[in-house]
Copies of this chain bind each other. A is one copy, B any other.
Amino acid sequence: MTPRIALDAMSGDHGPSIVIHAALQILSEQDDLHLILVGDEKKIKQILGHQSTSVMQRLSIHHAEQVVEMDDKPSYALRNKRESSMRLAINLVKLGQADACVSAGNTGALMATARYVLKTLPGIDRPAIITALPNMQGKSTHLLDLGANVDVSSEHLFQFAVMGTVLTQAVDNLEKPRIGLLNIGQEEIKGNECVKEAAKLLTACEGINYIGFVEGDEIYKGSVDVVVCDGFVGNVCLKTTEGVAKMISHYVKESFTQNWWTRFAALISLPIIKNLRQKIDPRRYNGASLLGLRGIVIKSHGSADVLSFHHAIKEAVIEVQKNVPSQISHQLANLLNERRRVE
């Protein structure tokens, strides 16, 4: 079956142009794909211009009157933006008219709306946000939760571990993804009660390849595939990463533009810098998944460019092909049964 992805064409910092160009690009690469642009029909048509029949057969427009602004509070968006591109894109998933949706809109509103419209999967108390980050092995490490849940219980962390396992099995084709609990030391004595309790649950669960506590630096080493933490810690971790990377990039630019000699060196080093950039380009990691819902919702970075948004769409396609939500449901039921048998 051809994956049908609804794209919230209006949200994000840069408006519909980015989304539309990303859509056209991915359609030119993948035949077996149908995209639905959700948003202001007039604006979308204007940007779209004239396209070939082969493209237009795989692209439709779904009109939306409203837009969720980047600073709309979740509760406000829920109540007052029922005709927004974000809400309607999620509705299409709910109605079975799309298999997934992608939005660069504000995370709080997207999570609240998706949760309200789609509901959580059976057995999942809280949806979580997960993203891939680059690591030293040239592969990626997934981190969750990234901010959906500020206060969590050990049971929630356990569920996050299950969701992380399923997602990386699907997306990275890992058979037994290594799951680590983010903590402040590898010794058993360290950490707060919730993390310690979650460690017990995970150790007892044969279906999860739990490797123990990991510290913040291990996310980037490649010694673990999925790092589980609460949404407060995960969000700080993600933003810290952004901050460090931006600072280093700032100093690199500054150092290479100081005088004629450094500019010459920069010229010579250009292919190296490009190669380097490609390896840790955050755009290649764009597309966080809202896991635990009865439907696939992908959150793109608000400031995404065409390449970034393109990656977010690709993430949606893979999750559709691998049927991630039903896998999560299935796996969770199995693991909870296993736990009951042991108890």
Contact = CB atoms under 8 A, between A and B. Distances in A.
Contacts of A6: none
Instruction: Report the copy number of this chain in the oligomer.
Output: 2
Interface in A152-193: 182, 184-185, 187, 189-193
B136 A250 contact: yes
A55 interface: no
A294 B294 CA distance: 56
Contacts of A339: none
Interface residues on A, range: 35 or more
Q: A187, A231, A250, A258 — which one has the most chain B CB atoms within 10 A of its CB?
A: A250
B217 A184 contact: no
Interface string A215-235: 111111100000001011101
A243 B265 contact: no
Interface string A227-252: 00101110111111111111110111
A269 interface: yes
Contacts of A276: 251-252, 255
Contact of A221 (B135, B236, B243): B243
B248 A235 contact: no
A183 to B, nearest CB: 8
A87 B54 CA distance: 77
23 contacts: A136-B251, A150-B184, A150-B191, A182-B236, A185-B235, A216-B235, A217-B239, A217-B242, A218-B239, A219-B243, A220-B243, A220-B246, A221-B243, A240-B240, A245-B248, A251-B276, A251-B280, A252-B276, A255-B273, A256-B269, A258-B272, A262-B271, A265-B268
